[in-house]
Structure 1
Amino acid sequence: MTTFVDRVELHVAAGNGGHGCASVHREKFKPLGGPDGGNGGDGGSVVLTVDAQVTTLLEYHHSPKRKATNGKPGAGGNRTGALGHDLVLLVPDGTVVLDREGNVLADLVGHGTSFVAAQGGRGGLGNAALSSARRKAPGFALLGEPGDARDIVMELKSVADVALVGYPSAGKSSLISVLSAAKPKIADYPFTTLIPNLGVVTAGDTVYTIADVPGLIPGASQGRGLGLEFLRHVERCSVLVHVLDCATLEPGRDPLTDLETIEAELSEYGGLDDRPRLVALNKIDVPDGQDIADLTRASLEERGYRVFEVSAASRKGLRELSFALAQIVGEARAAKPLEESTRIVLRPTAVDDEGFTIIEEDGVFRIRGVKPERWVRQTDFSNDEAVGYLADRLARLGVEDKLWKVGAHEGDTVVIGSDENSVVFDWEPTMAAGAEMLGRRGEDHRMETQRPAVDRRREKQKGRDAAEAEYLAFEALSSGRQASIEGDDEDS
């Protein structure tokens, strides 16, 4: 038997980005042909997409952990690593995505609507992409970023225009079976309906959907019976129809009492007070059914309800009910704003936004920001040159200058990142020595085969001047020695 599941907890993990490659091109007569390490590929993302053919979350109930593939690392010869494949999870129309705290992340309504539940990690840059005029042969590459991993909750809320509510065995499934082409299970015992049933109704020029919600009983809003599990399926409807049983034999029950009980549960659940209500007095074809309907109709109309006497067996009153519902649904649709085309919302960065924040916590300076945290994740701390590159990036961003301003001193503890994923440093300021003195990390002087012509002329001229001065000194020394020798000869 097919099981209906409309709420699941899912752990999603995106793929990690591939590491960049540190490589130097080598071939015959070119032992140092320049850096040629390729970039790593991006990791795959986990994407939720609405599919009209999917009606339940059962698949994720049985398999609650999903992970996308990782990106491949880069390679020499400027070869970029392969991208990780996105993992597309198909969900029913009307799925609401929440985090573990209950905050709504996305409301997926409409075929094809998508939401990225976990973003794949970026691939790290290879040393070819990191090279520059000042850093000709970097001996390091950036690491790939880890992909997002999170726990989410998915709840299915039926997308229907009309919701039928009432006690178990009030005849809701019978009504939806004759109003539409739906074929729900129908039997003469309570809680026959265990899942919401959807049907499509055509009334004149209006086509609308109608949902048969499992029966409600006193205490449903607190979890008694099946009501709490399925009350969420009436949240999206435009109109509620109270289906009241005029032929019940249970003691203490009558249409007015049933209505008051169901309204109390709807009020306790909350969020449905603004929906228009209709009342369908059902089963008027059975003995005493018509008499009970006649006795209660006046009381219901005094309370402001539009009342329809119907019978699913004889189909009496169904046409009037169907067209009344079509009118209300049409008015509700007309009152909604027209759907606008997709818009891109641009949120420019504030002028005074530095891209990071520094907070002192008991003598520890914590740095938070998208860029610093991403740079730390991409740094290979076993490579001194990579660590130096990170220090340069942080200095250019203004982190060290801000640390000076907030009162940090040499040797203080500096933490970058959150408590769960952070890196701790003993701060050694470089601003005092001058960032320009430390900005030439990653240079390979063997690669400096060409220099400006002016510099070469100056060096040649210096060489000639030095040689001439050495020659003159030698001549002077030689002349002095010769004169000394001649003087000695004369004295002798």
Structure 2
Amino acid sequence: MTTFVDRVELHVAAGNGGHGCASVHREKFKPLGGPDGGNGGRGGDVILVVDQAVTTLLDYHHSPHRKATNGQPGAGDNRSGKDGQDLVLNVPDGTVVLDKEGNVLADLVGQGTTFVAGQGGRGGLGNAALSSARRKAPGFALLGEPGEARDIVLELKTVADVALVGYPSAGKSSLISVLSAAKPKIADYPFTTLVPNLGVVTAGSTVYTIADVPGLIPGASQGRGLGLEFLRHVERCSVLVHVLDTATLESDRDPVTDLDIIEEELRQYGGLEDRPRIVVLNKVDIPDGQDLADMIRPDLEARGYQVFEVSAVARLGLKELSFALAGIVGEARASKPQEEATRIVIRPKAVDDAGFTVTYDEAEDVYRVRGEKPERWVRQTDFNNDEAVGYLADRLNRLGVEDQLMKAGARAGDGVAIGSLENAVVFDWEPTMMAGAEMLGRRGEDHRL
């Protein structure tokens, strides 16, 4: 049973923010020394980081649920809660991050490349931070925000310059073992290779990587055999090398037909039409193999292929092949556009951007308020505390939500929902002519409620 895993579904959850603290400073002869509740700590992020020492997603296959730590709540005496610790998940070079619908979120290539898969929640403000000249002693604090939870898919696409493709037992593993220092498993039965093998080849001043992709068979692009699982590993290569067996023991196969079948599978998979191809006729150290190579070489060259006759066992023709691949890889690298220096793009908000929208939902018969600020404020509000609810009303009014509700046609008693359809806070709207701390009576009370 192989220990190589190149596709997993991962369930990540960032840490929740700690709640703020509502506290009043007390000491001898000074029982009400003012608010001193500290802020809650930030929840930890879930971060994916490329580590070239990691070559498989096996760890996440066995443990797909990962969660960062929560932020600690604030405390009295102006003590802020401790921030949650970020959870760093090391992934192989070439990992693609997708959402559940298959949309690409990030393509992680290069040592140290990072992606924040889950954003930690903000910590809630304590009543010391909420105090003002008008609200001298708030009897409430803000709640910490929940951390971001999401399901993502990780797919590994091998980062290699050259990909060896061909039928099972065509000699791909033997070829990569003599071209590089890689030591793949080699045997004389089909599907010996169950995982992509990666090797580093040096040809003159050029150093390139070469991948041995597990054997393809007819129907691989539709899921037959191992091909569909590993075809993604040829997507990043600069050149495709068809390894053809000129000494096959199967009477119903011949190298040219094998080439046509593999090309058809690559065509159906898609996205590889622009890659240059090289044909390697392997096992020419066998007399019958050399005779067959002499027969089919003119036909292959007539098709426009560059053909090399090699023997991985006898080490024939390997130097010419290695330098030819180095030349193609060098040309591909030179043709790639130079990476531009990082530019900072400033996108100022529109002058008329209020930061939220108000729309009428006929199906639910409510006016729906959507926006980053209103939804965050609702999540941070303790609805068991009347003063906290009044503070939320003040903030929404200052943001202009009530004005927009009036313009949208809302009347007293109409339903207003803040948030998405699945997770919204709904209340009956009562427009106010004034808002602010002057509406407060005794601490913890609000005349509007």
TM-score band w.r.t. shorter chain: over 0.9
Q: Distance in 2 between matches of 1:25 and 1:378?
A: 23
The answer as to whether partners of 1:15 and 1:45 remain within 8 angstroms in 2 is yes
CA distance in 2, matches of 1:352, 1:228: 51
What residue number does 2:400 align with? 398
- In the aligned structure 2, how far is the partner of 1:344 from the partner of 1:79? 37
Report the residue type matching 1:308 in the other structure: F
2:35–2:138 Cα contact (<8 Å) kept = yes
Higher alpha-carbon Rg: 1
Kept in 2, the 8 Å contact 1:137–1:442? The answer is no
With normalisation by structure 2, the TM-score equals 0.96
Q: How much does 1:150 deviate?
A: 0.5
* 2:136 partner amino acid: K
For 1:39 and 1:210, the matched residues in 2 are separated by: 54
Q: What root-mean-square deviation, in Å, do the aligned CA atoms of Structure 1 and Structure 2 show?
A: 1.3
Q: 2:302: which partner in 1?
A: 302
Deviations 1:162-214 (A, max 9, x none): 00000000000000000000000000000000000000000000000000000
Cross-structure match for 2:248: 248
- Are residues 49 and 97 of structure 1, via their aligned partners in 2, closer, same or farther at CA, if it must alter by over 3 Å? same
More helix by share: 1
CA shift at 1:339, angstroms?
2.8
CA contact (8 A) 1:136 1:442 kept: no
1:23 aligns with 2:6: no
Structure 1 position 349, deviation (Å): 1.8
Supply the distance in 2 between the matched residues of 1:401 and 1:315 (Cα, whole angstroms). Answer: 81
TM-score of the pair, normalised by structure 1: 0.88
Given the alignment, which residue of 355, 358, 364 partners 2:366? 364
Match of 2:40 in 1: 40
| CA deviation map 1:229-281 (0-9, x unaligned) | 00000000000000011011213211110111000000000010011101001
The amino acid that maps onto 2:310 is: V
Residue-by-residue CA offset, 1:114-169 (whole Å, 9 max, x unaligned) = 10000000000001111111111111100000000000000000000000000000
Whether the aligned pair in 2 keeps the contact of 1:135 and 1:441 (CA below 8 Å) is no
Q: Is the 8 A contact 2:2 2:194 kept in 1?
A: no
Map of 1:201 onto structure 2:
201
- 2:420 aligns to what? 418
> Aligned ranges for residues 81-480 of structure 1 at < 5 Å?
81-362=81-362, 363-430=365-432, 433-435=433-435, 438-440=436-438
* Letter in structure 2 aligned against 1:168: P
CA 1:243 to 1:400, structure 2 compared with 1: closer, same or farther past 3 Å? same
Asked whether the 8 Å contact 2:135–2:437 carries over to 1, the reply is no
Count residues with an aligned counterpart: 441
**Structure 1: gaps spanning 5 or more residues:** 446-492
3-state SS in 1 of match to 2:316: coil
Q: Deviations over 1:17-73 (max 9, x none)?
A: 000001111112222211110000000111111111100000000011000110000
Separation (CA, whole Å) in 2 of partners of 1:369 and 1:429: 20
Give the letter aligned to residue 356 of structure 1. F
> Whole-Å Cα distance in 2 between the matches of residues 307 and 440 of structure 1?
87
Q: State the alpha-carbon separation in 2 of the partners of residues 27 and 297 from structure 1.
A: 96
Q: How far apart, CA to CA, are the structure 1 residues paired with 2:38 and 2:18? A: 10
Equivalent-residue separation in structure 2 for 1:26 and 1:380 (angstroms): 24
Match of 2:447 in 1: none
Give the distance between the partners of 1:326 and 1:178, measured in 2 at CA. Answer: 16
Task: Provide closer, same or farther for how the CA distance between residues 82 and 441 of structure 1 changes in structure 2, counting only shifts above 3 A.
Answer: farther
Give distance in 2, aligned partners of 1:6 and 1:417: 37
Q: Structure 2 stretches of 5 or more lacking a match?
A: 444-449
